[in-house]
């Protein structure tokens, strides 16, 4: 929903303003419009907010006002001396009223020039009415407009609250709620811990496309903390679960893309209650932080973050590897792995994996991508040579975290861990993307503690061709007779061929892996060669069958 600003940044659609209507809108209503209003001073400030209307004729009327009023008068209290008129205008301006409207008549047929100059100098909009109007009608009309405006604002805030509630009831969590808020207001929204650490950020479009840099500049840096939040920001505490009223988190709306309106403030206040319930029920702190890091790593992998700017953004998330080589790692969870609802298994997994990674002894940036079911990770190596050692320790920590979270079954598929090559931030970006795709291609392979992304390139190529009919035809040509045999006859020969090719045609090792004596293995291989009409000792045949077996998992 878009909102338009008045000339001083306080107006809204239809002349509505924060907590009222604008002076311009008041002059357009029938009551004042019938008096033929003429703006004689500060016409550029008609976007000011009219909070209320007051009519009076006493000289000390400024003492009766609170600010934001539109004052109606016939001028009887203005005084006859220029000094009195200047003082009258000055006191009204100091009180902060929205505008002064003087009805011409017996007291003034034209406003004195000193009055006009004083209003202009004080920045106070001054209007003269050329026709008599009933002040009570004007008051009722403007007050009705203000009340209707309040109701419209409340209704819009309630609609945002309803959408956020529906998102949570539909299985969504804090990220979905913050996305609804930033869509509604057009400004970035952040959830912080009670001590000011970033939990999650949401933003749409430039300049909100880089929420981490926005938060660091306006909230996270030492200078930003010393200066305080920008003018017009909205900070709302999210209550904790105890009886002492402690603050569990803080919801922050910053005026980056545009001014924050009253309806935005009300929406944030209403939604804070939903977030309190979500955080209380799900204990999502660790998961939220990990999802934020997962968004950063995904944006890096997809090229939405310039590698040169990545270190500063990573530092906001607590990852400061310095000049160390970066090792990209991706773990993909199997389909149907435990409870992966918001605040369920993901929260337990994040906590468990972080505790396990603490023993690895290198800087680590761990994220989660719940939609894709994967866990991206960057590790800061001391040297490139320790890649294998650190990869083994990281893979062990990831698997241990999954087991502690109860997300795998003993008889079910295991998580796939893929490790890329170490390098700088640009290499880390491409390495994360490659590892994520390779993890998809590695599903169904013989389980390993971890896979080298570079050795999965053939599987990745076949996976990318999985929708091509030619790939299915290739598998059928190469393995069709053997597949048909195994549907009806025993023993099945495909497992024997697979193990034989995995051991590079070494019959003794194949027999040991299959727990067969050599003669039984020779008989099975001979029968396989007959069915396929192929020489299993021919290198070209071995290559073809190896590719066909790999491709069969994808077609």
Is 177 a domain residue? yes
Same domain, 124 and 99: yes
User: pLDDT tens digits for 201-218?
Assistant: 888 765 445 778 788 888
Residue pair 49/19 in contact by the 8 Å Cβ criterion: yes
Does residue 3 register a pLDDT over 50?
Answer: no
How far is Cα 128 from Cα 99, in angstroms, rounded to an integer? 11
Q: What is the pLDDT of residues 126-136, one digit of tens each?
A: 999 999 999 99
Q: Which residue has the higher pLDDT, 3 or 507?
A: 507
Q: What percent of the chain has pLDDT above 90?
A: 32
- pLDDT confidence band for 247 (50 / 70 / 90): confident
Residue 503 lies in a domain: yes
406 and 383: one domain?
yes
The residue written with tokens 């009670």 in the block is 194
Could you write out the three-class secondary structure of 485-498? HHHHCCCCCHHHHH
- Answer yes or no: is pLDDT of 339 > 60: no
* pLDDT tens digits along 457-512: 888 888 888 888 888 898 899 999 999 998 888 888 999 998 998 888 899 999 99
Residues with Cβ within 8 Å of residue 8, at least 6 apart in sequence: 45, 47, 48
Q: For residue range 513-555, list pLDDT tens digits in order.
A: 999 999 999 999 999 999 999 899 889 998 999 898 888 877 7
> Within a domain: residue 143?
no
pLDDT of residue 344: 54
What CATH number has the domain bearing residue 510? 1.10.10.2840
Within a domain: residue 5? no
Q: Which residue has the tokens 């709302």?
A: 236
pLDDT digits (tens, 9 = 90+) for 35-62: 999 999 999 999 898 888 999 888 889 8
pLDDT of residue 461: 87
| 2 — pLDDT class (breaks 50, 70, 90) | very low
Helices (H), 97-237: 113-122, 135-169, 174-185, 211-215, 222-227
Domain check: are 488 and 537 in the same one? yes
What is residue 1's predicted lDDT score, i.e. its pLDDT?
Answer: 27
Q: Is the pLDDT of residue 161 over 80?
A: yes
Q: pLDDT at position 39, please?
A: 95
Whether residue 80 is contained in a domain is answered as yes
Tell whether 327 and 432 lie within a shared domain.
yes
**CB atoms closer than 10 angstroms to residue 34:** 15
Joined together, the tokens standing for residue 266 give: 């009300």
- Average pLDDT over all residues of the chain: 84
User: At 449, is the secondary structure helix, strand, or coil?
Assistant: coil
Neighbours of 188 (CB within 10 A): 27
pLDDT of residue 283: 54
* pLDDT, mean of residues 259-282: 80
Q: Are residues 320 and 452 in the same domain?
A: yes
Is 4 within a domain? Answer: no
- Give the pLDDT band (50/70/90) at residue 7: very low
Tens digits of per-residue pLDDT, 315-332? 888 898 988 999 999 999
Instruction: List, for residues 420-447, the tens digit of each pLDDT value.
Output: 999 999 999 999 999 999 998 888 788 8
Distance CA(425)–CA(311), nearest Å, equals 8
Decide if pLDDT at 8 tops 50: no
Do 451 and 371 belong to one domain? yes
CA-to-CA distance for 456 and 448, rounded, in angstroms? 13
pTM over 0.75: no
pLDDT at 219 over 50: yes
Can you give the pLDDT at residue 206?
A: 58
Domain termination site, one of 421, 442, 462:
462
In the predicted structure, residue 144 carries a pLDDT above the cut 90 = no
Residues 521 and 418 in one domain: no
Using pLDDT thresholds of 50, 70 and 90, give the confidence band for residue 385.
very high
Does 401 score more than 90 pLDDT?
no
Does 548 fall in a domain? yes
* Shared domain check, 180 and 99: no
CATH number at residue 431: 3.30.70
Give the CATH number for residue 62: 3.40.1390.20
Q: Are residues 479 and 351 in the same domain?
A: no
Domain CATH number, residue 208: 3.30.450.40
- At 104, the pLDDT band (50, 70, 90 cuts) reads very high
Domain end call among 417, 440, 462: 462
Top-confidence residue, 13 or 122: 122
Between 95-99, 176-180, 386-390, the lowest mean confidence (pLDDT) is in 176-180
The closest of 303, 293, 309, 312 to 216, measured between CA atoms, is 312
Is the domain of 189 the same as that of 327?
Answer: no
Full domain range(s) for residue 478? 465-552
Q: How many structural domains comprise the chain?
A: 4
Name the least confident of 133-137, 360-364, 372-376. 360-364
Comparing CA positions, the residue from 25, 28, 88 lying closest to residue 56 is 88
Domain finish residue from 403, 435, 462:
462
Does one domain contain both 452 and 524?
A: no
Q: Is residue 298 assigned to a domain?
A: no
What is the chain's alpha carbon radius of gyration, rounded to the nearest angstrom? 35
Whether the CB-CB separation of 534 and 543 falls below 8 Å is answered with no
Question: Does the pLDDT of residue 157 top 90, yes or no?
Answer: no
Tell me what pLDDT residue 19 has: 55
CA 377 – CA 327 distance, rounded (Å): 8
**Strand ranges of the sheet holding 37-41, from the earlier edge strand across to the other edge:** 37-41, 126-129, 99-103, 69-73, 52-55
318 shares its domain with 266: no
**Cβ partners under 8 Å of residue 342, min gap 6:** 171, 172, 173, 174, 282, 284, 287, 370
Distance of alpha carbon 432 from alpha carbon 442, whole angstroms: 15
């Amino acid at each position: 929903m878009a909102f338009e600003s008045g000339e001083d940044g306080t107006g809204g659609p239809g002349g509505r303003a924060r907590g009222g209507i604008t002076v311009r809108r008041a002059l357009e209503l029938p009551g004042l419009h019938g008096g033929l209003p003429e703006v004689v001073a500060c016409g550029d400030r008609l976007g000011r907010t009219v909070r209320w209307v007051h009519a009076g004729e006493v000289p000390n009327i400024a003492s009766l006002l609170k600010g934001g009023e539109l004052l109606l008068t016939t001028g009887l209290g203005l005084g006859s001396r220029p000094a009195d008129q200047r003082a009258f205008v000055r006191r009204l301006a100091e009180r902060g009223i929205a505008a002064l409207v003087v009805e011409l008549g017996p007291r003034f047929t034209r406003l004195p020039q000193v009055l006009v100059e004083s209003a202009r100098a004080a920045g106070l909009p001054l209007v003269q009415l050329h026709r008599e109007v009933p002040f009570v009608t004007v008051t009722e009309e403007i007050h009705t407009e203000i009340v209707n405006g309040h109701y419209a604002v409340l209704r819009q805030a309630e609609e945002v609250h309803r959408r956020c509630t529906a998102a949570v009831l539909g299985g969504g969590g804090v990220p979905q709620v913050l996305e609804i808020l930033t869509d509604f207001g057009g400004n970035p929204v952040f959830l912080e811990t009670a001590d000011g650490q970033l939990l999650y950020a949401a933003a749409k479009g430039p300049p909100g496309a880089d929420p981490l840099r926005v938060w660091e500049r306006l909230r996270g840096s030492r200078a930003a903390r010393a200066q305080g939040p920008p003018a017009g920001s909205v900070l709302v505490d999210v209550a904790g679960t105890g009886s002492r009223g402690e603050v569990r988190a803080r919801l922050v709306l910053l005026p980056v893309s545009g001014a924050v309106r009253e309806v935005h403030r009300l929406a944030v206040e209403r939604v804070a209650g939903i977030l309190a319930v979500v955080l209380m029920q799900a204990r999502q702190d660790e998961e939220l932080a990990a999802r934020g890091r997962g968004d950063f790593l995904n944006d890096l992998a997809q090229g939405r973050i310039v590698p040169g700017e990545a270190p500063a953004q990573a530092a906001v998330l607590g990852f400061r590897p310095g000049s160390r080589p970066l090792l990209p790692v991706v773990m993909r969870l199997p389909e149907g792995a435990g409870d992966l609802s918001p605040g369920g298994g993901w929260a337990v997994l994040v906590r468990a994996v972080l505790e396990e990674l603490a023993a690895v002894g290198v800087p680590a940036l761990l994220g989660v991508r719940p939609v894709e079911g994967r866990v991206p990770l960057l590790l800061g190596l001391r040297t490139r040579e320790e890649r294998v050692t650190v990869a083994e320790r990281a893979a062990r920590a990831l698997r241990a975290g999954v087991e502690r979270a109860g997300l795998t079954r003993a008889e079910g598929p295991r998580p796939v861990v893929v490790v890329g090559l170490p390098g700088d931030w640009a290499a880390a970006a491409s390495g994360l993307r490659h590892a994520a795709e390779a993890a998809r291609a590695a599903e169904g392979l013989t389980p390993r503690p971890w896979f080298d992304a570079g050795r999965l390139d053939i599987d990745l190529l076949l996976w990318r061709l999985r929708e091509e009919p030619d790939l299915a035809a290739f598998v059928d040509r190469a393995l069709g007779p053997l597949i048909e045999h195994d549907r009806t006859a025993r023993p099945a020969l495909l497992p024997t061929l697979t193990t034989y090719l995995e051991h590079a045609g070494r019959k003794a090792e194949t027999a040991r892996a299959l727990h067969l004596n050599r003669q039984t293995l020779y008989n099975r291989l001979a029968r396989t060669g007959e069915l396929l009409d192929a020489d299993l000792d021919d290198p070209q045949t071995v290559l073809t069958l190896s590719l066909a077996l790999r491709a069969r998992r994808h077609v």
